[in-house]
Amino acid sequence: MKLSIVIPAYNEEVLIGGCINSILAEVNDKNYDLEIIAVNNASTDKTREIIVSFPQVKLVDEPNKGLVKARRAGYLASKGELIANIDADTRMIPGWLDKVFEEFSKNKKIVALSGPPIYYDLSKNARTAVRIFYYFGFFIYLINRHILGVGSMLQGGNSVIKRTALEAIGGFNSNFDFWGEDTDLARRLIKVGGVKFTFDLPIYTSGRRFERDGMAKTGGRYVANYFSTIFFKKPYDTVKKDFKKKYVKTLAKIKE
């Protein structure tokens, strides 16, 4: 199967080169059929110039900012039967490609494959905390998937999806911009096939969001958006606004 690797990038001049080099190092001396697509998502720094400096990479310009918009642009420009979504701050681990092709070859019912991130620039204690968070998330996923029969688990920046499955569910959901977009994909993909999350498919990525916003706040946003997407099919901020509107309307009727 042909694999298309899509990398959305907004102002990633510091990290995009390392991401691409890690992919090229993994591809070296292997006969896999694949393409690398980097999406310049309205960057104002040197992201575009750096992408262009790699002749092995196909550049796509998406002027409308947003992670989902960038991933959709890369997907539409791709030719592969498998679409891999990774982020510009990731580093591909040796054996990643082997594991992807192995999983899709041995199980034809799988339509999506995903694994956890390893935050290479966080402290050891922080990485341990994140790993525990993912184990907890995996436990919640097992309950939701196999007991409640809702949703699945997908890590957006470390995922591979069959093109036919993406087409069957209508592609990416424009109601999501960042938070919850991977949960929404997983929720819809399980209707057309198997969605597998495995700790055997890790990828290195930056923990800058945790450092900037704090572990508790960032983790809380992931949890809130996971459950709002599973049960309300919307991002948490949208659900919160909807409830607020309903509360204001109800309060106004009571006052009348």
Digit-coded pLDDT (tens) for 155-211: 999 999 999 999 999 999 988 888 889 999 999 999 999 999 999 999 999 988 877
d(CA 177, CA 154): 16
Say which residues have a Cβ less than 8 Å from residue 165's Cβ, sequence separation at least 6.
Answer: 111, 112, 189, 192, 193
Please, what are the averages of pLDDT over each run of 10 residues along the chain (256 residues)? 96 97 91 95 97 97 96 97 97 95 95 93 84 83 78 89 97 88 93 93 90 78 84 85 74 67
Residue 251: the pLDDT is: 64
- Among the residues of 78-180, which ranges form H helices? 96-106, 124-146, 163-168
Residue 240: the pLDDT is: 82
